[in-house]
Amino acid sequence: MNCEVCQLKELEVEHFEIREVLRCILHTIVFHRALGLVRPKVIDLELFDITYVQCGDGELEKKIDEKIEQFISWVEKHPNKKSQVCISFYEVKNKHPSWFTNKTERLYWEQWYINLNVSQQQKVHSGKSHPSKIVVDPGGNSLEERSARRAALETSLREVLFQIIKFVNEKKDHVPPISDGVVYFPYEVTIPRWILSLIHEI
Amino acid sequence: MDLHGMAPHSESGKLEQVVSQFLLKSLHIILDSRIPSLHPRDPTCDSRVRKSDKWFNLVLGDRPAALDNLNFWHRNLMDPMIIDIILVQQGTAISTSVGNLLSGSPGRTATETVIERWLVQFESPPRGIASQPSEGSAASYKKTYKKSIIFLRSLYLQTRLLPAYRIFKQLSSSSQPFNFDIIYKVSSFSEPFSRVEEEMMKEYRFVPIEALPGRLHVSVTYRPQLSEFNLQPLTTMPPKIISDYVGSPATDPLRYFPSSYKGDRAISFPSKVMHSPTSVPFQRPHSWTSGFHKPVVNHHLAGSPTVYRTSQMSYDSPSPPMERIQNHRRPLHQRAPFYDECQLSPPFSPSVSPSTPTYLRNSESPRQTRASSETAPVTIPSPISGRSSRYISPNFSDPSKLSLPPLSPRSTRLDNSSNESPSGMRLIKKPEASRADLGSAGQKVLKDNKDDSGRFSGLLSSRSSSKLSFQDDIDDCDFSCPFDVDDVDPPDSRISQNVDWKRNLESTSMGRKSQDAAVGVLVHMLRTAPPLRQDSSCYSSRSLRAEVENDGVATTASGFFMPRRTSDALEELRSYREMKDLLLSKSGTRVLTREPP
């Protein structure tokens, strides 16, 4: 089974926009890959005039928010760098058990790369803020520049969502069969240049 | 949805079932994100999972009733399903013709624009290619089902990324009415877009879904920009309780119905709130106007095989209160000149007013009479008929400003206790029945208007006396000179006149406290007042004449009215004294005479 890779369009975001942008993209991807019984939940972004869809699972939402916070922490420690967030879907294969090992193998069948270019004007926020709280970074740019940049980011974010829709419709054969009672395929969220500790398993 | 539990008739049967459910689910997703009335208010509160929700593992809630009627899709899956999302915008051109409204023809224009057209179609392979069941086909419908699950999720998101979702959110989130609405049309055919429309629209085609032996095609043609439509909330007054209802003594009684009607703001799209009958944008809504109801004609789209409208549309509402009020405001507007003349004011009902027959005699039908009476009651004026236009001011709303006819001394001759005196009716051209109506009407007014009973009773009491004065006022025309002697009046008539005059004045002042009435009373006082300078010759001549007549002495009265000097008068007095002394000496009696002033 081949692994389908999708490189999403790069987004130029400010620090305070990271949370909303990542939340939107990650949930959209997971929603298209949660092929079990799902009650969709429509969410309106606060910073942009965009509506996206979640799976309506509180646990899933919590886990994704935790990963987003980890990414933000990494960005704060490594400013002015282009960063990536990778979400991978895999299957668990059991290797031949032996005396010493009982390893399981992961077969990644799909990977999504979210490319972010966090702007230089950022403020370091110590500690964890509430996931739903939006911190507005005033910055030093003029109002017109900020609004133009915000509009451009909204357009780019919308293009990213359309890109996801197009990808999930074009590539379907590689998706594994759905197991009864299973809602989500196993996935993990990583920062390629910094391995995160959290891995989601079924 | 576990496909293993499906009716295992055949693989093709299962595929058909998947395809038909795919069509229904697609329609449900599209309508759920476009038609506010079909969208559940709070989907999270309903946690149960229906059978329809299990299809494609996507819980959407209750299916709209319209979907249950689309059984024809099951009959022929090859027919395309075309879903038109239509933006209906309230037009600005308003018909001012009452006939249009009353006859039911739409007087208000509305523009309809297709802002989205979805096409969902199952394409089967051309004939000649036989599709035989095989082992591969057993899993084919499962693959189709899995791919349909993925596709429907992307469709669910896609519908919320297109521009039409914004106006859907506008309608759904706000409780105020807007000048637009969204309806949909589902059909298996549709009129193609014109070239102009095509240029303004974009198309997005989803990747076809394999549904062996055929494929499922889904595409959407949409308007990328909706800013050209002036979509905004309606600026209508919210329903409110009118505390200063017409007729309250605390309000300005000089209010009247406006002659011009501003119907632009009457009709709204009652999307969320059905206004109470009293919620009107007019200046003076009145409760009696709610009695008139005109069913609103349903506006039908032409050339549409299956059209579904939401309950929010004003087209479908049986009788929006705004338009209802507009309907029966129109008759008022038509009779605006009538109202300008008499300035009717509630809560007096003209049907019980004595003067209303005068004003409503030109009405075309009793219903209109009733309509006018119910919509614009009249204050009960003074009991005037025939000469009412002469004495009653245009403003009926303030009874105190009614100018009553001046009192007449003749009123003393009539019995105040009897309201209907035949003698006073001789110069009144109205039949006596009108007087009777006046009395009964007055009583009826008291019954119908409890709130203003105090004012009514005052009017009623003043009416009885003013009625008599009106009769006498007609008789006043007979007087050529205010100082003429009335041959008929008894000697003590002047005193009785004064007494009755004062009585009438009091009763008049009781009921009418207006400047005009006061002026009328003053004029009457001046007219009936005794002369300021009593002419001694006249006075003495009168008394002397009476005495002379008693004694049988005839005298000529021609000299009484000739201008004379004082010396002449004294000389004449001297001669009279001599005559008196002579008479007394003859009779032997002494009469004490008084020196003239």
A52–B2 C-beta distance less than 8 A:
no
pLDDT (tens digit per residue) in A40-88:
999 999 999 999 999 988 999 999 999 999 999 988 888 777 889 999 9
CB B131 within 8 A of CB B213: yes
Q: For chain A, which residues lie within 8 Å of any Cβ of chain B, measuring from their own Cβ? A: 28, 31-32, 35-42, 44, 49-53, 56, 158, 161-162, 165-166, 168-170, 172, 175, 177-178, 180
**CB-CB neighbors (< 8 A) of A172 in chain B:** 146-147, 150
Nearest residue on chain A to B56, judged by CA atoms?
A: A37
Burial class (CB in 10 A: 0-12, 13-18, 19+), B186: buried
Average pLDDT of chain A, as a whole number: 83
Q: Identify the residue whose tokens are 């013709």.
A: B97
- Predicted interface score ipTM higher than 0.90: no
B59–A38 C-beta distance less than 8 A:
yes
**CB-CB neighbors (< 8 A) of A41 in chain B:** 44
- Residue B162: per-residue pLDDT: 95
B153–A168 C-beta distance less than 8 A:
yes
Q: Which residues contact B46 (CB under 8 A, 6 or more apart)?
A: B40, B61, B62
Looking only at the bridges linking them, the beta strands covering A4-7 and A104-118 are parallel
A161–B161 C-beta distance less than 8 A:
yes
- Residue B324: per-residue pLDDT: 38
Question: What's the rounded Cα separation, in Å, for the pair A21 and A44?
Answer: 12
Considering only CB atoms, A162 lies closest to which of B60, B156, B161, namely B161
CB A136 within 8 A of CB A116: no
- Residue B498: per-residue pLDDT: 54
Burial class (CB in 10 A: 0-12, 13-18, 19+), B495: exposed
| Residue among B283, B276, B241, B242 nearest B261 (CA) | B283
The tens place of each residue's pLDDT in chain B, 597 residues long, gives 444 444 445 777 888 889 989 999 999 999 999 988 777 666 556 677 888 888 999 999 887 776 776 665 556 778 899 999 999 887 654 444 444 444 444 555 788 889 999 999 998 876 655 554 444 556 788 889 999 999 999 999 999 999 999 999 888 887 778 788 899 998 888 888 899 888 999 999 999 998 888 899 999 999 998 887 777 777 766 667 777 777 656 656 565 555 544 444 443 344 444 444 444 444 443 333 333 333 334 444 444 445 455 444 444 444 444 433 333 444 444 444 443 444 433 333 334 444 444 433 444 444 444 444 445 555 555 544 444 444 444 444 444 444 444 444 444 444 444 444 444 444 444 444 444 444 444 444 444 444 444 443 333 333 444 444 444 444 444 444 444 444 444 445 555 555 555 555 555 555 555 778 888 888 888 888 877 665 544 444 444 444 444 444 444 444 445 566 889 999 999 999 999 999 999 887 555 555 555
Nearest-Å Rg of the Cα atoms of chain A is 18
B147–A38 C-beta distance less than 8 A:
no
Q: For chain B, which residues lie within 8 Å of any Cβ of chain A, measuring from their own Cβ? A: 2, 43-44, 49, 53-54, 57-60, 146-147, 149-151, 153-154, 156-158, 160-161, 165-166, 169, 206-207
pLDDT value at A5 more than 90: yes
Higher-pLDDT residue of B79, A18: A18
B154–A165 C-beta distance less than 8 A:
yes
Give the distance from residue A6's alpha carbon to the nearest chain B alpha carbon, in angstroms. 16
CA B26, chain centre distance (Å) = 47
B161–A40 C-beta distance less than 8 A:
no
pLDDT-above-70 percentage for chain A: 80
**CB-CB neighbors (< 8 A) of B165 in chain A:** 51
Question: What's the rounded Cα separation, in Å, for the pair B587 and B66?
Answer: 125
Structure tokens at B256: 């009247």
